[in-house]
Amino acid sequence: MVDQEIAFGPGKADLLEAIQATGSISQAAKKMNMSYRRAWQLVETMNQLYASALVETYKGGESGGGAIVTAFGFDILKQFRYMEQKALAAIEADFQQLSGYLKP
């Protein structure tokens, strides 16, 4: 946590992946059923909290602008997904134990 803002988490990771897939913050927001304003705020927050930008935007001609995930953004995303996998693996046995309490 930095300045009461969460620098990165599952939602921001999903947003970065959607931006990469669509090439657009607007299209990524639609894909995630999120308002464009909220997606833009999340991108701005990430870009402000990290040493380098995670997403870069560009203006286009007739086709409009777009957005790309930077190499730094990919590194952050890759590290987060790795941490996520480690955490899930660490609690897998606990989840299996909990599932034993479910009705058949």
Determine, yes or no, domain membership for 71: yes
Contacts of the segment 27-36: beta carbons below 8 A, 24+ positions apart: 28/67
Domain-embedded: residue 1? no
- Is position 104 within any domain? no
The two structure tokens encoding residue 5: 């803002």
Instruction: Please tell me the predicted confidence (pLDDT) of residue 95.
Output: 86
d(CA 79, CA 19): 18
Low-confidence ranges of the chain (pLDDT < 70): 1-5, 61
Query: pTM to 2 decimals?
Result: 0.83
Can you give the CATH number for the domain in which 29 is found?
A: 1.10.10.10
> How many structural domains compose the chain?
1
Domain region containing 67: 10-99
Q: Is residue 4 part of a domain?
A: no
Residue 5 covered by a domain: no
pLDDT in tens, 27-49: 999 999 999 999 999 999 999 99
The reply to whether 3 falls in a domain is no
2 part of a folded domain: no
Rg (CA), the chain: 17
For 5-24, give one letter per residue: b (16+ CB within 10 A) or e.
eebbeeebbebbbbbbebeb
| pLDDT at position 1 | 43
